Amino acid sequence: MNLLEFIFYLKNPSKIEEVILQENKELDIDYADIYLEKELCIYSKMFFLDAEQIDGKIEIELNGKKYINLFPLDYLQDIFAEFNEQGNTDLEIANKILSFRINDA
């Protein structure tokens, strides 16, 4: 799943825990940190990692692959709430979130 696809779950918060636990069964949702594989892009594959295990690192390498921190899940939900304006498409919302991460975070 990528950020663009994850917008659906941000719009339907009751489904977030279910989809995250499908990706990482061991994860405590309260400590979920979101990383993107290889680069900050709305199409990069998302990974949900335990914030306590990664010590808040911006970039990490696991199994020879580079991952870049997007946001902790709770912060992503807050940012989504700011950009989820009526009439915006999922693509527009995802681009605004990523632009915020790159330019302002």
Given phi > 0 = left and psi -120 to 50 = alpha, else beta, which region is 28?
A: beta
pLDDT score at 105: 62
The residues spanned by each domain of the chain are 3-103
CA distance to 7, 35, 36, 54, 84, per residue, from 62 (Å): 25, 11, 12, 11, 32
Q: Is 105 helix (H, G, I), strand (E, B) or coil?
A: coil
Q: Bridge-partner residues for 60, per DSSP?
A: 67
What is the value of pTM for the model shown?
0.90
pLDDT of residue 58 exceeding 70, the answer is: yes
pLDDT of residue 84 exceeding 80, the answer is: yes
- Share the mean pLDDT of the chain: 93
Over residues 11-35, mean pLDDT: 91
pLDDT score at 57: 86
